Amino acid sequence: QYHMENDKPIGAVMVLGVHSPGLDSWGQSNKTYQPQWYTNGSKCDLTGRPRQTELRFVCNEAATQELVGDIFEPQSCEYTIVVHTSKLCSVPWLKPVADPTPLPI
């Protein structure tokens, strides 16, 4: 993470984390996304702890390429980034639940 001016990074470069494959899990779950964890990022000036990030890959059948859908900071220097991809849509537990058809009253 950094600020750009005239195509050059300005100020300190913040590392949001380094991929930690040991924290990743692959297998059927009740989650509708596949998480990937990044830890040991740059020291947070607010908490003194290293920054960390969870990437959440979600199925999006309409995505022709991967795209960042949302970025959250649920706690200071802890980030969640939602990445939309069609490449996970063949995985049954990651496929979104179809919208229910309303029943007539």
pLDDT tens-place values along the chain, 105 residues long:
566 778 887 777 788 999 998 888 777 778 889 999 999 999 998 999 999 999 999 999 888 899 999 999 999 999 999 999 999 888 888 877 776 677 787
Place of tokens 């009253």: 105
Write the CB contacts of 38 (distance below 8 Å, at least 6 apart in sequence). 16, 17, 18, 19, 20, 52, 53, 54, 55
φ, ψ (nearest 5 deg) of residue 102: -65, 145
- What pTM was computed for the model? 0.78
Q: Say what the pLDDT of residue 91 is.
A: 87
C-alpha 43: how far from chain center: 20
Q: Say what the pLDDT of residue 48 is.
A: 93
Q: Say what the pLDDT of residue 100 is.
A: 67
Q: Say what the pLDDT of residue 38 is.
A: 95
Q: Exposed (0-12), middle (13-18) or buried (19+): which is 52, by Cβ within 10 Å? A: buried
SS3 52: strand
Q: How far apart are the first and last CA of the chain?
A: 53
Q: Say what the pLDDT of residue 70 is.
A: 92
The token duo for 51 is 């920054």
Q: Say what the pLDDT of residue 78 is.
A: 95
